[in-house]
Amino acid sequence: MRNNALKIGNIELCSRAVFAPMAGYSDLGARYLARLYGAGLTTSEMVSAKGLIYDNKETKKLLDKTEIETPFAAQLFAHEPEILHKAVGLLPDGIDIIDINMGCPAPKIVKNGEGSALLKDPALAGELVAAAVSASARPVTVKMRLGFENGDFVADKVARVVEKAGASAVTVHGRYREQMYSGQVDKKAIRAVRDAVGIPLIANGDVRSVKDYERMLEETHADGVMIGRGALGNYRIFADISGKRVDRTEKEDILLQIEFLKREYPERIVVNLMKSHVSAYASGKAGVAKEIRDRVHHATNYAELLAIVDEYFAN
């Protein structure tokens, strides 16, 4: 395990544990809590470079951040270097790092040659990084998987190409695209990527406890660890890792998430987004988890949502 702090370009993070970008989950409220509890970095949900160029309002909204999110990374997806170059030039102030998505397994992204499809074309992956680097003075990072088809390990090669193109760090989710989210994370393969490049490497996949975090650092020799699903409804995992003390109840956290979402969205969307978040908090409640999930699933307005929060989460 490396003892120096995690530094991306010239930006030093306060913790080696960072919060993962997750479409539909890593919204402002979730990221605020991750950061409050001690995550070293938060990242936007994946944002379409084309959407930015077309000035799409909903796309731009995804780049709004909270007042405590510094440093903050914007994650973009694209397959055309010139589009990415333009989109990076349009990014608002307040974005410190640009991350390029080379890991998304969703068919609608892959069929456009974006996300994990880029693992099949390392040269294009390099051109995309070079295009982003030439458009901005901010550090550019890449988030990828081990490869596309099961067992076809290419992340070491892609990492070398993007490092050469100017990337300041890589994050590796230790699964292949074909696996989606099934099977085990291959830590040995993540370590092979670590050994292939000189830039910082952030290891990702299935970290749900401080013990998992420590094991990930130890077995991969990574410089940092990205935590996604294991932090949902459990943002205090970052406090447990960093030793930061934060005195808050789960109920306060849930209400805060609702307030942040209200700033951005109408009631119907806030309630829908909160269904997933409240279900994540419910996972920690043995005996009533299913009941909470079933009830929140049927909530249609704030009054119903808040009644469920009041009933199951103590002040």
Ligand X SMILES: Cc1cc2nc3c(=O)[nH]c(=O)nc-3n(C[C@H](O)[C@H](O)[C@H](O)COP(=O)(O)O)c2cc1C
Active site residues: 104
**Please, which of residues 203-232 interact with ligand X by CB under 6 A?**
204-207, 227-230
Report if residue 234 touches ligand X, rule: CB under 6 A. Answer: no
What would the two tokens of residue 264 be?
């951005």
Question: Of 161, 164, 97, 42, which is closest to residue 88 (Cα–Cα)?
Answer: 97
| Residue 28 or 312 having the CB closest to ligand X | 28
Identify the residue whose tokens are 């199951």. 312
User: Residue 101 or residue 234: which is nearer to ligand X going by CB?
Assistant: 101
> Mapping DSSP to helix (H, G, I), strand (E, B) and coil, where does residue 67 land?
coil
> In this structure, what is the dihedral angle of CA atoms 218, 224, 230, 232, given to the nearest 10 degrees?
160
Single out the residue of 110, 108, 103 nearest to residue 181, CA to CA: 103
The binding track of 255-294 with respect to ligand X, each residue x by CB under 6 A or -, is: ----------------------------------------
Which residues 104-123 are close enough to bind ligand X by CB under 6 A?
Answer: 104
Report the nearest approach of ligand X to the CB of residue 273 (Å): 12
For the residues of 111-143, what is the DSSP string, one character each?
A: TTT-GGGGGG-HHHHHHHHHHHHHH-SS-EEEE
C-alpha–C-alpha distance, residues 281 and 295, integer Å: 13
Q: Quickly count: other Cβ atoms within 10 Å of residue 225's Cβ.
A: 26
Tell which one of 1, 24, 249, 267 touches ligand X (CB under 6 A): 24
- Least distance to ligand X, CB of residue 101, Å: 5
Which residue among 16, 35, 138, 143 contacts ligand X (CB under 6 A)? 143
Binder to ligand X among 36, 39, 46, 100 (CB under 6 A)?
46
Contact (Cβ atoms closer than 8 angstroms) between residue 98 and residue 132: yes
CA distance 128 to 125: 5
Residue of the chain from 21, 29, 122, 224 that contacts ligand X (CB under 6 A)? 21
Nearer to ligand X, 125 or 227 (CB): 227
Q: β-strands 7-8, 11-12: how paired? A: antiparallel
Shorter beta-carbon distance to ligand X: residue 120 or 229: 229
Q: Residues 6, 8, 13, 22: which binds ligand X (CB under 6 A)? A: 22
In sequence order, which residues have a C-beta less than 8 Å from that of residue 217 and are 6 or more positions away? 1, 16, 203, 225
- How many chain residues are in contact with ligand X, going by CB under 6 A? 22
Instruction: Point out which residues bind ligand X (CB under 6 A).
Output: 20-25, 45-46, 75, 101, 103-104, 143, 173, 204-207, 227-230
